Chains A and B, each alone.
Chain A
Amino acid sequence: MLAVKDLTVFRGHIRVLNGLTFSVSAGEIVAVLGANGAGKSTLVGALAGLYPPAAGEIVFQNRNLTGRPPEAVVHAGISLVPEHRQLFAGLTVRDNLILGAYHRYRDAKKELPRLLEDVYRLFPALREKQEKPAQTLSGGLQQMLAIGRGLMADPRLLLLDEPSMGLAPLVVREIMTTLSGLRAKGQTIILAEQNAHAALKIADRAWVLERGCIALSDTAENLRQDARIQAAYLGRS
């Protein structure tokens, strides 16, 4: 479904991604692991169109998206739930959600109530807060809202950037369970996470980014057992 070839991305003068080649198939969860600063955000951001690649190619469902801006990429079916949530802080929960459907608003106008309902069923706590400004929510709810907004775009491929950041373990587990549930319904997901432990629990496969390259790529199952991963990312020895 997604085929990326030789992806090279600069942030300022730094070459953050150094010729990455990979592919993602429909229906799988791929975790992108790596230390802080490894380039996880840059990778998912580049896939979403935020950072135009200096070289390489991004092909999604047989469409070349290389160098396309985010507003075109979301239309093509890739939706990013960005790092730090990036909510529309002053707007209500409900408005944040319906704006998630912006790129297809004209077609989806009539379906909006049903789409909202789907998100509220996924995250019931959001329903109670739907008239509250997004900025008044707790961190966990804000993350759920960010995911809900991403889903409102009806993506074929959902990108998530560190959904566990700053959240209590219980909330992280709840969110990971939800993602796992989405996958069960056929949602394809790329999950960038520093929290390898949580990500490997739900992922099918994972890559480990190091200095702009994919240092390791294997099934989640194998990586969970991998001594290098356990030492570096899972806090065991």
Chain B
Amino acid sequence: MSPESQLLQYLISGLTLGSIYALIAIGLVVTFNITGIFNLALGEFVTLGALVSIALYAAGLPLIAAFALAVLIAAALGAVMERTAIHPARKANATILTLVIITIGVGIAIRGASLLIWGTHPYILPPFSEHAPFTVAGAVVIPQSLWVLGLAVVCVAALFAFFEFTYLGKAVRACVMNRTAARLVGINPQRLSLAAFTATGALGALAGIFVAPITFATYDMGFMLGLKAFVAAILGGVTNVPGAIIGGFLLGILEAFGVGLVGSGLKDGLAMIVMILVMLIRPTGILGAFRRGA
């Protein structure tokens, strides 16, 4: 492989990774904007999307049906999480920190349950298309990478359309801009919080389903993905959806090049280094600023 092809290869794997980080980071940012808290259990929904659909597929469901059902289950779990863990705590005037710690706790519980159900070994989900890997300018592209990129593009477009063009999307933005005024026109922030946890649960599961054919699926696959998406969100300025997308891709590309040019030891450490650097140098992220703050 020529050096140029090699670099292209890193870029392709960076874009693939970046798509996944971006998707999860969008989920984090949307939830944060609406509720003021980070759902740090979101990574576990990625795991669930992958493992549940693999289990359903193994049980004989067609692949598409297995996917749909897994996404629905994750969405329902997101809703249950909001109603049983977040909502009551909020009613009891829990601080933001308490609420975030609750999400970490829910994450640990889901991970523990996944470990009990699925054990530690990796599961395989077949790629969505049978097409063999092909080369572009000397770099190998696996078709599943294109599926992942495609999902990211479709989700971003759908979210953009939702927030920009629909009445409900505008109501959500209104609630983010001015919670009191939103309540005065009849927008119920608690209902939006429920919707946010439900929708981002589904989004996380979708990300897990798309990435599973590339990475294998294990009970703890979502943990690191969630953490890195969190870094991507911070990189993008926490409240900013376009920022989260850019942050996700930047982190993915950085990681792919770091691993390729320096060594695989960098894979997980790099994200943490990036987070520390952002916090030190530009805590408002590369775009935008903390609008909600503490």
Contact = CB atoms under 8 A, between A and B. Distances in A.
B290 to A, nearest CB: 16
Interface in A138-177: 149, 152-153
A74 B170 contact: no
A218 interface: no
Contacts of A100: 185
Nearest to A104: B186
A35 interface: no
A213 to B, nearest CB: 26
A103 to B, nearest CB: 3
B89 interface: no
A77 to B, nearest CB: 11
Given A71-B187, A103-B186, A50 B170 contact: no
B184 to A, nearest CB: 5
Nearest to B177: A88
Residue from the set A70, A79, A104 with the largest chain B CB neighbour count within 10 Å = A70
Contacts, number: 69
Contact of A74 (B171, B180, B184): B184
B135 interface: no
A88 B186 CA distance: 14
A82 B185 contact: no
Measured as residues with beta carbon below 8 angstroms from the partner, the interface class of chain B is 10 to 19
A214 interface: no
A69 interface: yes
Interface residues of A, number: 29
B167 A105 contact: yes
Contacts of B177: 88-91
A50 B184 CA distance: 8
A211 B76 CA distance: 51
B150 to A, nearest CB: 30
A202 to B, nearest CB: 23
Contacts of A71: 183, 186-188
Interface string B147-186: 0000000000000000000010011011001101111111
Interface of A: 48-50, 69-71, 74-75, 79-80, 82, 86-91, 95, 98-105, 149, 152-153
23 contacts: A48-B184, A49-B183, A50-B183, A70-B184, A71-B186, A74-B185, A82-B181, A87-B181, A88-B177, A89-B178, A90-B173, A90-B177, A91-B170, A95-B170, A99-B167, A99-B185, A99-B187, A101-B185, A102-B185, A103-B185, A104-B186, A152-B185, A153-B186
